[in-house]
Amino acid sequence: MKISIILGTRPEIIKMSPIVRELENKGLDYFILHTGQHYSYNLDKIFFEDLELPAAKYNLGVGSGSHAEETGKMLIGIEKVLKEEKPDIVLVEGDTNTVLAGALAASKLHIKVGHVEAGLRSYDRTMPEEINRVLADHVSDYLFAPTEKAKENLLREGIEENKIFVTGNTIVDAVYQNLEIARRKADALNKLNLSPGGYILVTAHRQENVDVKGRLKGILEGLGLIYNELNLPIIYPIHPRTKKKIKEFGLEVPNGVELIEPLGFLEFLQLEANAKLVLTDSGGVQEETCILKVPCVTLRDNTERPETLEVESNVLAGVNQDKILEGVEKMISKQRNWNSPFGDGKAGEEIVKILIGGI
């Protein structure tokens, strides 16, 4: 059996890492195909280093562009590699353009597709991620749903039950495998002169937020309001997309908000685990805060991670500054006694076990 892991962005590298680790442990035949959707050192290579992953056998170097440019170039490059390598199965993870291209190229070549993190739905088609995940799910042969809720979403769309496996989310594995290493190795608190519980952490990079001037302005104003109320430093490792848009729109970064370069996984995990509270529009960060028992305020109007709202580790605040402050006031002194719904940290092992048994 030959497995092709297709990935291209920061969250895919992180969430595929437990599967790669397990494939290595089991000595299975696999290779990594990197589309090159992310290519800056701190969105790409740093994660291969932090997570001690083997280098990709192929890197298509697709880079940035419009959705069609990125997806189209990926389709062409992926098809070529898959025709040469002839894997039995392709694994994709999540909801990026890389996932759509990988799933589509493989299925047209009649290669089996396994979708890791299948069945998530925001039911908001204005988000490119929603389109990618729906399409990937419907051409997949193995749907690795992280939760029962995700499985129910798939069943409601008519996907056969025998294709769906509830495995937990590989992000739990990644957090468990790396938290101790982060405690030993990461130096972000010292470097930034922060004390545990003495700061707020922010990430925001989603297209529907940062490409719209009014929404990005609302987020920045919300951060300013929080600083005025709480007087805690606000640390914002900024995605290059957001950095570019702040400049392009001529927006001001409020007093108290410290923009820093994106961090590697170990340093980010350390900052996340020790934060008083996290604000984000990221999918992975909503999950990680839930796992790490750190309260989260999500800067979106909906989420495909409703489990976090149910266990009350997370609230939706949108991008209005008053609503953001309201969300922070609600969550900041919250009892951290919820249980994570994302599994036991063995999703990577479980997925590989299913693949070995199933092909």
- Give me the active site residues, please: 205
Binding span for ligand UD1 by CB under 6 A among 8-16, 229-237, 295-303, 351-359: 8-16
| Residue span 288-327 as binding mask against ligand UDP, x where in contact by CB under 6 A, dash where not | x---------------------------------------
Under the criterion CB under 6 A, does residue 303 sit at the interface with ligand UD1?
Answer: no
Q: Looking at beta carbons, which residue is closest to ligand UDP? A: 282
Judged by DSSP in three states, 252 sits in coil
Under the criterion CB under 6 A, does residue 241 sit at the interface with ligand UD1?
Answer: yes
- Binding to ligand UD1 (CB under 6 A) within 172-231 occurs at 205
Binding span for ligand UDP by CB under 6 A among 7-15, 65-73, 100-108, 338-346: 7-15
| Residue span 41-60 as binding mask against ligand UD1, x where in contact by CB under 6 A, dash where not | --xx----------------
Provide the 10 A C-beta neighbour count for residue 229. 12
Tokens representing 37? 């959707």
Contacting ligand UDP (CB under 6 A), which of 17, 147, 209, 282? 282
Nearest CA among 148, 140, 138 for reference residue 169: 148
Please identify, using beta-carbon distances, which residue of 170 and 321 lies nearer to ligand UDP: 170
Binding span for ligand UDP by CB under 6 A among 51-59, 263-271, 324-332, 335-343: 263-271
Tokens representing 322? 């008053």
Distances from the Cα of 343 to the Cα of 39, 201, 217, angstroms:
31, 25, 36
- Binding to ligand UD1 (CB under 6 A) within 80-109 occurs at 95-97
Nearest CA among 316, 315, 307 for reference residue 209: 316
Under the criterion CB under 6 A, does residue 146 sit at the interface with ligand UDP?
Answer: no
Nearest CA among 356, 357, 281, 358 for reference residue 28: 356
Tokens representing 196? 């545990």
Place of tokens 């170039």: 73
Contacting ligand UDP (CB under 6 A), which of 136, 179, 234, 285? 285
Under the criterion CB under 6 A, does residue 128 sit at the interface with ligand UD1?
Answer: yes
Tokens representing 87? 């894997």
Please identify, using beta-carbon distances, which residue of 82 and 186 lies nearer to ligand UDP: 186
Please identify, using beta-carbon distances, which residue of 167 and 282 lies nearer to ligand UDP: 282
User: Measured from the CB of residue 167, what is the shortest distance to ligand UDP in angstroms?
Assistant: 18
Nearest CA among 169, 97, 131 for reference residue 350: 169
Contacting ligand UD1 (CB under 6 A), which of 17, 35, 37, 289? 37
Per DSSP (E only), the strands in the chain are 2-7, 29-34, 58-59, 89-93, 112-116, 142-145, 164-166, 200-203, 234-237, 257-260, 277-280, 296-298, 314-316
Under the criterion CB under 6 A, does residue 64 sit at the interface with ligand UD1?
Answer: yes
Instruction: Give the count of residues interacting with ligand UD1 (CB under 6 A).
Output: 21
Judged by DSSP in three states, 359 sits in coil
Contacting ligand UDP (CB under 6 A), which of 3, 6, 11, 113? 11
Q: For 326-337, give the secondary structure using H, E and C.
A: HHHHHHCCCCCC
**Contacts of 356 by beta carbon, 8 Å cutoff, 6+ apart:** 1, 26, 28
List contacts with ligand UD1 (CB under 6 A). Answer: 9-11, 37-40, 43-44, 64, 70, 95-97, 128-129, 205, 239-241, 244
List contacts with ligand UDP (CB under 6 A). Answer: 10-11, 14, 203, 237, 262-263, 265, 268, 282-285, 288
